[in-house]
Structure 1
């Protein structure tokens, strides 16, 4: 199953669902092994992304906890860079807040410990891409598929003194707003996502290390990408980030 998921992402070819009997423990094992295949090809793990940070999304998917996936350097897109649709199956993008980790953390931590562990904060856009046929999947399918994470763009890092509890966020396609939201939609406070990230990675025997990037979760619903788009995100008091979809 890990080979199938990895091949689907590598070749941008959809696969069928993995099966309704798949439990969450096995789904994370599949994710771990599929990412190990990327690392064996020369990629490097550089952080994690959080998913289902919206209560409405949890209810929709019938789950009671967040999910997470790994970020590798092969997934990173330069701010202002260009992506190509041929690399994806069902690409969409979401506005996010990114944390740069400054201190090693893992296991249960407090909100204050999470804030203390952050070296800098930035606006970010995640490119998600479910690799399942017909865009149909269960939540364990999503976990196995690296929580649908496929790419990410991070803007300029800012000092963490910025209060990120309720920042206005506007994502635009070709200059026109397509999603308007607030960072408060990320668990009511994005630092809560970091608390959960430390807890969840520890369950898999991992830690968040200095230099790691953590994507806190989507602040709005995702928007489907198409060729030729210019995508930008403006975050109040934090800055902007952008990328282009090749024609």
Structure 2
């Protein structure tokens, strides 16, 4: 599929007629072309999403390595703990509870975990709403061409990173040990842990930075960017009228969302 076709299906929320028909490298080229088209029409990149960092769900979806895509001022919403999101023009949306980082600065070349810690301004709980224009039947290249499956991102209460930990090792240990209970209404749908995402969200962020910088034409992390690092549970279907809650352990806060 061409970048123009990919963007049209994204805008309309309609299913693709078939697979994207490329390898992963070409899929990233087309995704970056879509990125430029969205910038040209006035949308502003706000950072990135990293997907398929949770190894426990790889066999379920047939994708066995992380992917990444852009998040936008038109798709990211901030709240202090309770938010609302529209599912209009999304394709088979699902919810994912995640840890989100806010960048204070661009990390240095060959950044260590300590360098990353020094580059982070805040952490927050997040709900990424992912989607699939193939009704969740795909190969890895399709997920890349499909914008990394990103549809929406709700970012909850932001906490200054130095209020949480004095360094990278402490932050990584706390986030990896933290758990989340994902609820629809009063029903617990799933539980997961920060350690599920490449052994911890800081490791997921480091992996993403390395692959981003290895990809020709990709834009490096910028001050003010948000990066959401992958789901701690499976991705669960959502629909308008539902209310979902993520009961995160400290240092992350509780997050709730209502869909319209």
Is the TM-score greater than 0.5?
yes
Alpha carbon RMSD of aligned pairs, Å? 1.8
Match among 195, 198, 202 for residue 209 of structure 2: 198
Q: What are the Cα deviations for residues 136-161 of structure 1, in whole angstroms up to 9, with x where unaligned? A: 21110000111101110001111222
Change over 3 Å in CA distance of 1:59–1:173 after alignment to 2:
closer
Q: Counterpart of 2:223?
A: 210
Deviation at 1:28, TM superposition (A): 0.1
Change over 3 Å in CA distance of 1:230–1:62 after alignment to 2:
closer
Where in structure 2 are the equivalents of 1:52-201 lying within 5 Å?
52-59=52-59, 65-79=65-79, 80-105=82-107, 108-132=110-134, 134-160=135-161, 161-162=164-165, 163-201=174-212
Number of residue pairs matched?
Answer: 244
Q: Conserved in 1, the CA contact under 8 Å of 2:20 and 2:145?
A: no
Q: What are the Cα deviations for residues 16-62 of structure 1, in whole angstroms up to 9, with x where unaligned? A: 23355x11110001111112222122110011011111223445556
Deviation at 1:189, TM superposition (A): 1.3
**Correspondence 1:3 to 2:12:** no
Q: Counterpart of 1:235?
A: 248
Distance 1:58 1:34 in 2: 26
Query: Which deviates more, 99-108 or 88-97?
Result: 99-108
Deviation at 1:182, TM superposition (A): 1.0
Q: Conserved in 1, the CA contact under 8 Å of 2:197 and 2:232?
A: yes
Deviation at 1:171, TM superposition (A): 1.5
Q: Conserved in 2, the CA contact under 8 Å of 1:102 and 1:119?
A: yes
Deviation at 1:101, TM superposition (A): 0.7
Deviation at 1:173, TM superposition (A): 0.9
Change over 3 Å in CA distance of 1:244–1:96 after alignment to 2:
same
* 2:239 aligned counterpart, secondary structure: coil
Q: What are the Cα deviations for residues 219-242 of structure 1, in whole angstroms up to 9, with x where unaligned? A: 110110022101121211121222
Q: Counterpart of 2:15?
A: 14
Relative to the length of structure 2, the TM-score reads 0.87
Q: Conserved in 2, the CA contact under 8 Å of 1:126 and 1:151?
A: yes
Q: Counterpart of 2:39?
A: 39
Query: Which deviates more, 57-66 or 146-155?
Result: 57-66
Change over 3 Å in CA distance of 1:41–1:52 after alignment to 2:
same
Change over 3 Å in CA distance of 1:76–1:63 after alignment to 2:
closer
Deviation at 1:188, TM superposition (A): 1.1
Query: Which deviates more, 211-220 or 233-242?
Result: 233-242
Relative to the length of structure 1, the TM-score reads 0.91
Deviation at 1:106, TM superposition (A): 6.2
